[in-house]
A and B are shown apart, each in its own frame.
Chain A
Amino acid sequence: MPLKVTDVYDKPGTPTAFIRYKGIWDMQDLYQTMVDWFRRRKFKFYERVYKHKHPSPFGVERQYVWRAERKESEYMQFIVDIYYHIYDAYNVDVVMPDGAKKTMVKGRLWLEFKGNIQYDWEKRWNENVFYAELKNFFNKYILRKKWEQIWFHQLWTREIHGLIALVKERLKMESEGFEHRYKSGVHK
């Protein structure tokens, strides 16, 4: 039976993490902080979709689809996918503790975080079926332990949960905190 593209094990992934928030937040600050975090972590950041829907009586609806990529080696790269949905949002003026006025957003927020590892991102091993079989074997049986024991923690715990902790901090959520921060090592 010929090898199909779906048979090739070259993109193992993490679970999806969700955040839902309803209240007031500083959209500009949240957006900039998240993008800046990717920049500091040396990710290449792409805003793949930006949708601004016609405002309903309840407010504005916006959707963002983000992708961030970082090449770890010649063969493997980390990919972080974020789905960002704001609805029933409208601007409100907020008086800060120092008396200054600031415009913030009041509404609902839905965030999804998911990560993947992309093996063979240069697509060197897709030229023929034999190479693809070799790649499949290498990914499935030789690299698998590395994915399970090292790269998964780096991507899921350090990168994705690091970002989630940052978002929770910016939204001032009660569950803020990041106890797993040193799980994949103290050197970032």
Chain B
Amino acid sequence: MSDLRIIVDHMQFEYKGLFDLNNLFKTVDAWLFERVYEKRTNKNFEENTPTGKFIEWEIASWFKATDYIRNIIKIRMLFYDLKKVEATREKEKAKVTQGRVIMYFDGYIEFDYLHYWDRHPVLQFLRTLYDKFIFKAYTERFEQRLTYDVHQLYELIEKHFNVYRHYRVVTKVPHFAH
């Protein structure tokens, strides 16, 4: 079994109000596509309920940084009570969505995703030694890169929803603060 470590743990985003839902999915997909992440849709659930539409959308996109390390970004979006309403956007009438949104962002690094070093306990021990001590500086850089990616995506979504946001330089934030 490969070594899967959680680096960004359950960053959360909540919003209630008006937004453009279809564009949100397209924005996230386009961002992943530009950064050569593979698309993987775990859940794509849509239900019509008496109070409005309920959507659950979960993706776990991955990016093979090397032939040993794979970055995984997992995004889970939950939408409740979605309704289409008319609003004025740039002096033109447009149909937008109104509802409640909760999003969770997780970032994982998977070491040895090709399972070359997990066939024997000794090999696994060597792998752990290598990752934690010999290769430590590189491991931390990969972790930092993943953290940066997740934060950038988070900020992009904040921009999409036009909420108050603050920019944090990820390199200045200690790894345990995420």
Report which A residues bind B (CB closer than 8 A): 15, 17-24, 156-157, 161, 164, 168, 171, 173-177, 179-180, 183
CA distance in complex: A18, B58 (Å):
10
Contact B25 A21 (CB under 8 A): no
Counting chain B residues whose Cβ lies within 8 A of the other chain, the interface size class is 20 to 34
Report which B residues bind A (CB closer than 8 A): 21-22, 25-26, 29-30, 32-33, 38-48, 53, 55, 57, 79, 82, 97
CA distance in complex: A14, B26 (Å):
23
Contact A175 B44 (CB under 8 A): yes
| Chain A nearest CB, measured from B56 CB (Å) | 8
Q: Which chain A residue shows the least CB distance to B39? A: A180
A residues within 8 A CB of B46?
20-23, 171, 173-175
Interface contacts beyond A20-B45, A23-B46, A23-B47: sample of 6 additional A-B pairs, CB < 8 Å, sorted by A = A18-B44, A22-B46, A174-B55, A175-B25, A175-B57, A179-B32
Contact B22 A174 (CB under 8 A): yes
A residues within 8 A CB of B42?
17-18
Contact A175 B55 (CB under 8 A): yes
CA distance in complex: A121, B170 (Å):
50
Contact A174 B41 (CB under 8 A): no
Contact A174 B29 (CB under 8 A): no
The 8 closest A-B pairs by CB, nearest first: A179-B29, A22-B47, A20-B45, A23-B48, A175-B25, A179-B30, A177-B26, A19-B44
Contact B82 A18 (CB under 8 A): no
Contact B44 A20 (CB under 8 A): yes
A residues within 8 A CB of B39?
156-157, 161, 180
Contact B33 A173 (CB under 8 A): no
| Chain A nearest CB, measured from B51 CB (Å) | 14
Contact A177 B44 (CB under 8 A): no
CA distance in complex: A162, B22 (Å):
17
B residues within 8 A CB of A22?
46-48
CA distance in complex: A114, B45 (Å):
17
Contact A180 B33 (CB under 8 A): yes
Contact A174 B40 (CB under 8 A): no
CA distance in complex: A23, B43 (Å):
17
With beta carbons under 8 angstroms apart, the residue of A17, A171, A175, A183 that contacts B40 is: A17
CA distance in complex: A177, B40 (Å):
14
B residues within 8 A CB of A164?
41, 44
Given contacts A176-B22, A177-B25, A177-B26, contact A17 B41 (CB under 8 A): yes
CA distance in complex: A135, B30 (Å):
39
With beta carbons under 8 angstroms apart, the residue of B22, B30, B33 that contacts A175 is: B22
22 A-B pairs with C-beta separation under 8 A:
A20-B44, A20-B46, A20-B47, A21-B46, A21-B47, A22-B48, A157-B38, A168-B44, A171-B46, A173-B44, A173-B46, A174-B22, A174-B25, A174-B82, A174-B97, A175-B44, A175-B46, A175-B57, A177-B26, A179-B29, A180-B29, A180-B39
